[in-house]
């Protein structure tokens, strides 16, 4: 019986470790998804900025002949 109680204790420890790992994986997954969202947001802003910059350069180049 003594051996059985140690086995159950090790089994319970294994279950707790598995639950703990799953919790940490869930946290990391959430953080990873947040990082992806922030990265996408910054990419979108950069794309908008670059489009605006290109437009301004074209306007400047087209109007530089008028000066």
Exposure of 66 in the CB half-sphere (CA atoms within 13 A)? 5
Sign of CA dihedral 50, 51, 54, 59: negative
Please give the biggest Cα pair distance in the chain: 98
Which pairs from 1-10 meet CB under 8 Å and 24+ separation? none
- Supply the pLDDT for residue 12: 94
8-38 per-position pLDDT tens digit: 798 999 999 999 999 999 999 999 999 999 9
Q: What is the pTM assigned to this prediction?
A: 0.62
CA distance 52 to 37: 23
């Amino acid at each position: 019986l003594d051996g059985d109680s140690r086995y159950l204790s090790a089994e319970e420890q294994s279950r707790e470790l598995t639950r703990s790992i799953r919790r940490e994986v869930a946290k990391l997954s959430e953080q990873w998804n947040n990082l992806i969202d922030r990265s996408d947001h910054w990419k979108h802003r950069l794309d908008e900025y670059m489009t605006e910059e290109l437009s301004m350069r074209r306007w400047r180049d087209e109007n530089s002949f008028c000066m």
